[in-house]
Amino acid sequence: MKRLFGTLVLAGASLAASAAAQDIQIRGPLAGARSVARLVRYRENRLSLTPTVGITLQDEFSRELFFGLRANYHFADWIGVGVGFVGAAGLDTSLTTQITARSPGNTPNIPARANFPQQIGRRDYMIDLYATFIPLRGKFALFQNLVADLDLYFVAGVALVGVTERADFSLGSQTTGLDSVAANNLRRSWANSQSARASRLAVAPTFGFGLNFFINRFVSVNVEYRATPFSWNRSGTDENSTVNRCGAEGNASCEGFSDLVSTYFETNAARRVSAVTSDDRTLSFNQMVSLGVSIFLPTSPRIGP
């Protein structure tokens, strides 16, 4: 019993000593000092100019390479505003290549399979206005040799996207029952509609996030992900119908069907049509990733106390 009592006394003494040591540390020379001294304020009251190159992601028919410039001004190290402009060069995806090679063609949707790339929707340029929020910053070290300051930022704003799509049309969908001259004229109209183009400006929200690596006090490299969701006709095909009732008896729903399908059973051949209109636009998330090099002005940042 005496031995157990002695052990408990020694344990209590050691705990008391630890607590006393902690108290001494709190009251030491660093008590009340700043958590960070002489903090480099990389963004505060500085303008950054950023040439960028990017590529879109998860595209069905056309992938765009973007080249452009962003300008940002930061009121503080954690918030700023910006404007950007990018132009685009389109590249056909693997799906477009397969449709060009294997589609049967000879329909209003795809009159000539070899010309399918002419009808798909493409993004030509984008102008965006946005706010930047920088909640986190720290140090990055690679193999204990390359050390750089970095920050994580989020962006949100509005974008104006220049889009070129297949022009609107409404044509007969079947050559059955037509004489050879009328059938050839209808096929010619299909072919002409395939290459007819229309441009418009789509207004959409834009948001994303990125990492900014500071090479020195006025140059940084950044990687950014951005999404700009809006509706457009990416395939240039008849996707939805404006007709309310379908079927041979006219009592079926047309929801999810094209004009071609919804009018297929019309007894009047003139009413069997295929059409491309604004109703055929569907929502796409429109993702992209970009790489940029930022130059900050003035070249010397503010240094905290």
Token couple for 121: 């929707």
Which amino acid is present at 4?
Answer: L
Token couple for 154: 């989020």
Query: How far apart are alpha carbons 50 and 274 in whole angstroms?
Result: 46
The pLDDT value given to residue 20 = 47
Instruction: Check the CA dihedral 183-185-189-195 and report its sign.
Output: positive
Say which range, 84-88, 206-210, 235-239, 269-273, has the weakest mean pLDDT: 269-273
Residue 266: phi and psi, rounded to 5, are -60, 130
Q: Which of 231, 233, 111 is nearest to 167 (CA)?
A: 233
* Average pLDDT for the chain: 85
Residue 32: phi and psi, rounded to 5, are 85, 0
> How far, in Å, are 60, 162, 233, 272 from residue 290 at the CA level?
19, 18, 24, 46
The pLDDT value given to residue 266 = 74
For the segment 67-76, the average pLDDT, to the nearest whole number, is 97
Token couple for 235: 């395939």
Q: Is 38-237+282-300 CATH 3.40.50.360?
A: no
Q: Which pTM was predicted?
A: 0.81
79-122, pLDDT tens digit by residue? 999 999 999 999 999 999 999 999 888 888 999 999 999 999 99
Token couple for 261: 């399908």
172-231, pLDDT tens digit by residue? 888 877 888 988 898 899 999 999 999 999 999 999 999 999 999 999 999 999 999 999
- pLDDT level of residue 32 (50, 70, 90 thresholds): low
Query: How far apart are alpha carbons 122 and 69 in whole angstroms?
Result: 20
User: What's the CA dihedral at 165, 87, 114, 265 to 10 degrees?
Assistant: -20
Query: How far apart are alpha carbons 93 and 29 in whole angstroms?
Result: 64
Rama region for 231: left / alpha / beta (φ>0; ψ in -120 to 50; rest): beta
CA angle 109-62-197, nearest 5°?
55
Q: What is the rounded radius of gyration, in angstroms, for the C-alpha atoms of the chain?
A: 31
